[in-house]
Amino acid sequence: MSKQTEKIKELVAKREKARLGGGEKAIEKQHARGKYTARERIEMLVDKDSFEEYDMFKLHRCHNFGMEKKQTLGDGVVTGSATIEGRLVYVYAQDFTVNGGSLSETMAQKICKVMDMAMQNGAPIICMNDSGGARIQEGISALAGYGEIFERNILASGVIPQISAILGPCAGGAVYSPALTDFILMTEGTSYMFLTGPKVVKTVTGEDIDSEHLGGASVHASKSGVTSLTAKTEEEAMEMIRKLLSYIPSNNTEEAPRVECTDPVDRKEDLLNDILPDDPNQAYDMYKVITAITDKGEFFEVQPKFTKNIITGFARFNGQSVGIVANQPAAYAGVLDVNASRKGARFVRFCDAFNIPIVSLVDVPGFLPGTGQEYNAVILHGAQLLYAYGEATVPKITINLRKSYGGSHIVMGCKQLRADLNFAWPTAEIAVMGASGAVAVLCGKEAKQVKEEGGDVKAFLAEKEDEYTEAFANPYQAAKFGYIDDVIEPRNTRFRICRGLAQLANKRQGLPAKKHGCMPM
């Protein structure tokens, strides 16, 4: 055997060893936990044979607690580049089979290297978390490693899409890297995120709680809103990430990929002409409107389980990716509250940062009143949504379907927030407030008088409400002043959005020069 052949054999053997991570036993344990290994996960995510691994032979440099004898090629993270649907991505996956995926200085260097490559080459970064946190034996060097990663997450924000998949433990300060990224996905039953684990919680607050109830996928999907998506299996998780990427560009200087559209842009949806109940206080399902107007009725929802009174997600019109923000009358009448405002603002900001037009479907009775909301700063959170809409310079098309009252009318992409096209269905009620509230304010004295004179107060108020509705609860007041560009037949909604997006394809709009704004938080 020539010397060269010998060296090549040695390389192949080294690679094989590195690919085993923490070894066969640890891999078996990982599978027994219902989880895949780092390399299996990457393979599931990316195009076949597209993964190119870096730093496979990197080793940690720790000599504490006998760590010098615990060396694994590549240490506890697999990093590299690949393609998804032919588009370049960078990826890293923490390897739980190596010291529980705990983060060493070396691992941080590997992660930072691919983050830097992703930034330089304008490609999304996808991180897969499955780790016991900072490597305890390395102390402050491991913490410094987290600091390096966080700083890069911050600098990359709004430049390249950052997606975090939580596929195992993610605890302590380690949660802040995913929290700084654009989308978090958690697997049900096998992942959890919390700042302090059940034991610390028990010691400090006395509360008895397990990991799942403290920071499992369902908690963060429905209660905290930390996670954007949840998946039943890791296979489903990878499929979701691929789908999500199909709607978004590779960086902030590009547009999202355009796909061929076989759904006619002028498709009229007659069901929309008959979708609203006669009683304006009766609910209907906004999902039916969304799927009636988007290309082939497809909609990729973000945060589907969190605060259902507002719907956010991606869809396409004539093959072009858009972000949809819609009030949902079927959940709490579509009211805006603290969480709905946070959810909407987060989504609008992402779309604006990455050149994705925003289509808003408005049917909102107002902001939720009460101490629960006021004490939790609904003023600031509502302002967040307002700020996000007002700051966004991407094409913005707003359709007022039914209720659009007061502050919530302004917040949801009104003309004055620089929306480009504002359409209303003939059923729109665009006014300062609803009829009963308005009549209570305006006709209180008269009602008292009617009562004193023994008259029918109920009939009097009903008559006044009808009068108010006739005069104000319609789209024509707003159309009269040009705040609504056109009143449209509901069945033409898809066509008007498609045509609007085509008109706005070259939209250029700026913001005053500044370092950055001070968004209400």
Residues in contact with 138: Cβ distance below 8 Å, sequence separation at least 6, in sequence order? 60, 62, 64, 67, 104, 105
Nearer to ligand HXC, 133 or 216 (CB): 133
Instruction: Tell me the closest approach of the beta carbon of residue 301 to ligand HXC, in angstroms.
Output: 31
Instruction: Tell me the closest approach of the beta carbon of residue 15 to ligand HXC, in angstroms.
Output: 23
Query: Among 357, 285, 275, which Cα is nearest to 328's?
Result: 285
Query: From the list 21, 74, 80, 132, which residue makes contact with ligand HXC (rule: CB under 6 A)?
Result: 132
Q: Measured between alpha carbons, how far is 199 from 158 in angstroms, rounded to an integer?
A: 37
**For the chain, how big is the Rg over CA atoms in Å?**
27
Nearer to ligand HXC, 23 or 426 (CB): 23
Residues in contact with 350: Cβ distance below 8 Å, sequence separation at least 6, in sequence order? 182, 323, 356
Instruction: Tell me the closest approach of the beta carbon of residue 59 to ligand HXC, in angstroms.
Output: 16
Stretch that binds ligand HXC, among 34-42, 94-102, 212-220, 396-404 (CB under 6 A): 94-102
Stretch 384-423: interaction string toward ligand HXC, x if CB under 6 A: ----------------------------------------
Instruction: Tell me the closest approach of the beta carbon of residue 54 to ligand HXC, in angstroms.
Output: 23
Query: From the list 84, 171, 310, 351, which residue makes contact with ligand HXC (rule: CB under 6 A)?
Result: 171
Q: Measured between alpha carbons, how far is 61 from 56 in angstroms, rounded to an integer?
A: 15
Nearer to ligand HXC, 22 or 500 (CB): 22
- Amino acid sitting at position 51: F
Query: From the list 51, 92, 146, 367, which residue makes contact with ligand HXC (rule: CB under 6 A)?
Result: 146
Our finding on whether 365 is near ligand HXC (CB under 6 A) is no
Nearer to ligand HXC, 172 or 390 (CB): 172
Residues in contact with 331: Cβ distance below 8 Å, sequence separation at least 6, in sequence order? 308, 309
Our finding on whether 102 is near ligand HXC (CB under 6 A) is yes
Stretch that binds ligand HXC, among 46-54, 126-134, 180-188, 465-473 (CB under 6 A): 126-134
Nearer to ligand HXC, 173 or 444 (CB): 173
Residues in 173-232 at the binding interface with ligand HXC, rule: CB under 6 A: 173-174
Residues in contact with 209: Cβ distance below 8 Å, sequence separation at least 6, in sequence order? 198, 201, 202
Q: Measured between alpha carbons, how far is 326 from 311 in angstroms, rounded to an integer?
A: 5
CB 491 within 8 A of CB 270: yes
Q: Measured between alpha carbons, how far is 401 from 329 in angstroms, rounded to an integer?
A: 11
Beta strand 396-405 with 421-424 is parallel
Query: From the list 41, 60, 110, 135, which residue makes contact with ligand HXC (rule: CB under 6 A)?
Result: 135
Query: Among 487, 496, 486, which Cα is nearest to 267's?
Result: 496
Instruction: Tell me the closest approach of the beta carbon of residue 133 to ligand HXC, in angstroms.
Output: 2
CB 345 within 8 A of CB 384: yes
Nearer to ligand HXC, 67 or 487 (CB): 67
Our finding on whether 94 is near ligand HXC (CB under 6 A) is no
Q: Measured between alpha carbons, how far is 336 from 412 in angstroms, rounded to an integer?
A: 10
Instruction: Tell me the closest approach of the beta carbon of residue 216 to ligand HXC, in angstroms.
Output: 13
CB 133 within 8 A of CB 177: no
Residue 456 has a CB neighbour count (10 Å cut-off) of 11
Surface-to-core class of residue 291, CB atoms within 10 Å of its CB (0-12 exposed, 13-18 middle, 19+ buried)? middle
Nearer to ligand HXC, 133 or 357 (CB): 133
CB 179 within 8 A of CB 226: yes
The secondary element (H helix, E strand) that includes residue 364 is strand 358-364
Nearer to ligand HXC, 161 or 172 (CB): 172
Our finding on whether 136 is near ligand HXC (CB under 6 A) is yes
Q: Measured between alpha carbons, how far is 381 from 341 in angstroms, rounded to an integer?
A: 6
CB 59 within 8 A of CB 106: yes
Nearer to ligand HXC, 75 or 420 (CB): 75
Instruction: Tell me the closest approach of the beta carbon of residue 320 to ligand HXC, in angstroms.
Output: 40
Nearer to ligand HXC, 29 or 113 (CB): 29
Binding residues with ligand HXC: total (CB under 6 A)? 16
Stretch that binds ligand HXC, among 130-138, 262-270, 412-420, 459-467 (CB under 6 A): 130-138
Query: From the list 81, 99, 312, 422, which residue makes contact with ligand HXC (rule: CB under 6 A)?
Result: 99
Nearer to ligand HXC, 102 or 106 (CB): 102
Instruction: Tell me the closest approach of the beta carbon of residue 172 to ligand HXC, in angstroms.
Output: 3
Our finding on whether 346 is near ligand HXC (CB under 6 A) is no
CB 371 within 8 A of CB 395: no
Surface-to-core class of residue 407, CB atoms within 10 Å of its CB (0-12 exposed, 13-18 middle, 19+ buried)? middle
| Both tokens assigned to 463 | 């008559």
Instruction: Using DSSP, state whether 53 is helix, strand or coil.
Output: strand
Stretch that binds ligand HXC, among 3-11, 127-135, 463-471, 507-515 (CB under 6 A): 127-135
Our finding on whether 133 is near ligand HXC (CB under 6 A) is yes
What are the residues binding ligand HXC (CB under 6 A)? 99-100, 102, 132-137, 143, 146, 169, 171-174
